[in-house]
Amino acid sequence: MMRLALVAGALLVAFAIPAPTFACSPPFNPTIEELGPDQVVVVGTIGEPVDGGRHFHVERAFNSPMTTPIVIAFKDGEPVGDCSYPVHAGERLTIAPIMGVGGRLSADMGTLQADPATAAGQRYLAEAERLFGPGSIPGQAEPVQEGVSSVAVVALALGVLVAVTLVVAVRRSRTG
């Protein structure tokens, strides 16, 4: 009977102690790579509230061409256990927002994000560059990759066209 009482007591204590939960934190060490190859990362400034979220003024985008501003549906508000948190216009972030249906971007307390001036923000930025290259600045052409430039290719094509035209003209003048 004593053993039964001990087992019952142990079970009662085991069920009374809450199990660890992840709540609003991801269940892993948050890295961009662990979020997957399709993850978008943007650096910019939070703007004013608009329908569907807040404007986010993009300074640099990784793994996706962007216009600026974009809308991110921040779970904006006081932290009350629903993964919301206060956000303010003018805050700078390096953020990997959650991509939802139709490309809708959202963020809550568990979203990978940090001020780009902090160590975490610099780490996220370096990881995005390592995974996706230098990124793009909205409104500017994509960065030129190493190798032959487009100007050199056009110049070469024009040179070939001029050479062919001269060869044809010389042959016609000899035969004619």
For residue range 7-46, list pLDDT tens digits in order.
555 544 444 444 444 456 655 567 999 999 999 999 999 9
Q: In angstroms, what CA-CA distances link 153 with 145, 156, 157, 159, 160?
A: 14, 5, 6, 10, 11
Strands 105-107 and 70-74: parallel
User: Among 106, 94, 100, 96, which residue's Cα sits nearest to residue 36?
Assistant: 96
Instruction: Give the model confidence (pLDDT) of 108-152 as tens digits.
Output: 988 999 999 999 999 999 999 999 999 999 875 444 444 455 566
Higher pLDDT, 84 or 51: 51
Say what the pTM is: 0.64
3-state helix, strand, coil in the chain (%, to 5): 35, 20, 45
